Amino acid sequence: MSATGFSRRTFLKSVGAAGALVLSVGQLGPYVLGQKTALLGLAVPVQTFFGEAAEKSLRLAISQINAGKDILGKDIPKGLLGNPLDLTVSDSAGRGDQALRAVQELVLSKRADFLMGFFFSEELLGALPAIPVLRKIFMGTGAATPVATIQVSSDYNNFKYFFRPGPSNSFFILQALAVFIRDFLEKKQAWNSLVLFAEDAAWNKAITDGMPAILKAFGSKVEVAKVIRFAEDTADFTPIYKDAVEAMKGKKGGLLTTLAHTGLRPTIQWWDQKVPLPFAGINVQTQDARFPTLSGGKVESVTTYTSAARTKITEKTIPFFDAFEKFTAFKPEVTAPSYNAVISYDALFILKEAVERAGVLPDTEANTDKIIAELEKTDYVGNAGRIQFYKRGEKGVSPLRPDQDFPHDVRYGSGFVEGVFIQYQGKELKAETLFPDKVKTTDSFISPPWLQG
């Protein structure tokens, strides 16, 4: 029985006899260099923009890897140790139960050699019990729940297969928000208070619970006037916005949003009701290239945190954004990469470099362990910044959980991955980078139209 209470026998029973038969034969035998396709399995909610964007970024990366060129046009070794790379996709559908079936399908039916993906934290939590059974390297590229890497810490031998090259887990996202509040909203916009406005989801619980303490720890004088966590199926936000406005009477600030699943409906109603509080924080769905159309253009002034934007984070960032837009072999209508698309692209090149350093492909458990050991040594400059993973036993990295280590989580902070805050501005609703200062594309923070003047 694993630490999750999910045994191999239970797993085999859940997938049925056919799945058990496939699993019983083990790996497919040794790779013949240059002759066997190495297969990456992607589990994402395929009917969403975020699933489409992640798949597009990986198909772009695979086209470059198989051609032997990186994003800057430099020569790199082709494929994985000379084997061509291909992608297969399974639908995680935004649900934990379906996410579990998706990874089972990728390994047991499609025989993927490596796994990647998820968008919702609920998906990752649902599929987590399969990791010690499938024993495939899994690169988590969308879900922020800290539970996954805490599980790596507590039960390394069973969960060593999981790595998160991004996004930062919720504790580090909380730190990013606190720095933005202190150094931008407080110092530059004179905010002294805010309302935490959050969907009731697993990924942001650490953020809403920990915000008052982290602001104090980071020396910010901004107070949390009210915490509002609303059900994801909320239809009418009128009373919620009234409560927020009431809580902010006599104070200067706005709504500090933590939205991923529900961004469209509350944003439209915020605009239509002309809520006298700016929207700043995290509003993931605004990264959907269709958001301006879906919202009727009601996104001006909305600010969101994301992994990267079209600004010079590294020498690769702008070339990646441009290549993504121009890549028409998959979903040409998806013109801008979401945060998980940026991360997925970087993740595949990180995986490729680890395989090349190990000199093996995962045809045996011992070879998988060799690749894991090389992944743990990762020091890669990608589109989102310099990427390293936290090590086992490396504690004190989160002020809210000083006694907790987060092995295989992406290292957060200056000089590594920090993320950026962008704001949609002007008639073209261009995503301008506000913060950090070193990568900003504008000095202007605009208010919603009804608060201008």
- Provide the CATH number for the domain around residue 93: 3.40.50.2300
Shortest CA distance to 84 belongs to which of 36, 137, 136, 32? Answer: 36
pLDDT of residue 210: 94
In three-state secondary structure terms, 298 is coil
- Mean pLDDT per block of 10 residues along the chain (453 residues) reads 41 40 36 71 96 98 97 96 97 97 96 97 96 97 96 98 97 96 98 98 94 95 98 97 98 97 96 97 90 92 96 98 97 95 98 98 97 98 98 94 97 96 93 96 95 86
pLDDT of residue 287: 87
- Domain annotation covers residue 67: yes
Is the domain of 71 the same as that of 206? no
Cut 0.85: pTM above it: yes
Contact 389, 378 (CB under 8 A): yes
From 335, 363, 387, the end of a domain falls on: 387
- Domain annotation covers residue 396: no
At 89, list the tokens.
């996709």
Phi then psi dihedrals of residue 138, to 5 deg: -125, 120
pLDDT of residue 35: 55
pLDDT of residue 4: 40
Q: Which domain covers residue 240, as residue numbers?
A: 170-306+419-451
Shortest CA distance to 145 belongs to which of 106, 119, 179? Answer: 119
Phi then psi dihedrals of residue 76, to 5 deg: -135, 160
HSE at residue 155, side-chain half, CA atoms within 13 A, is 16
At 140, list the tokens.
């988590």
Is the domain of 248 the same as that of 158? no
Rounded Cα distance, 170 and 158, in Å = 23
Indicate the helix (H) or strand (E) that contains 163: strand 162-163
From 363, 387, 411, the end of a domain falls on: 387
Is the domain of 127 the same as that of 263? no
- Domain annotation covers residue 411: no
φ/ψ bin of 190: left (φ > 0), alpha (ψ from -120 to 50), beta (otherwise) = left
Contact 446, 434 (CB under 8 A): no
- Domain annotation covers residue 397: no
pLDDT of residue 453: 72
Is the domain of 326 the same as that of 291? no
Is the domain of 296 the same as that of 320? no
Rounded Cα distance, 397 and 385, in Å = 18
Is the domain of 91 the same as that of 151? yes
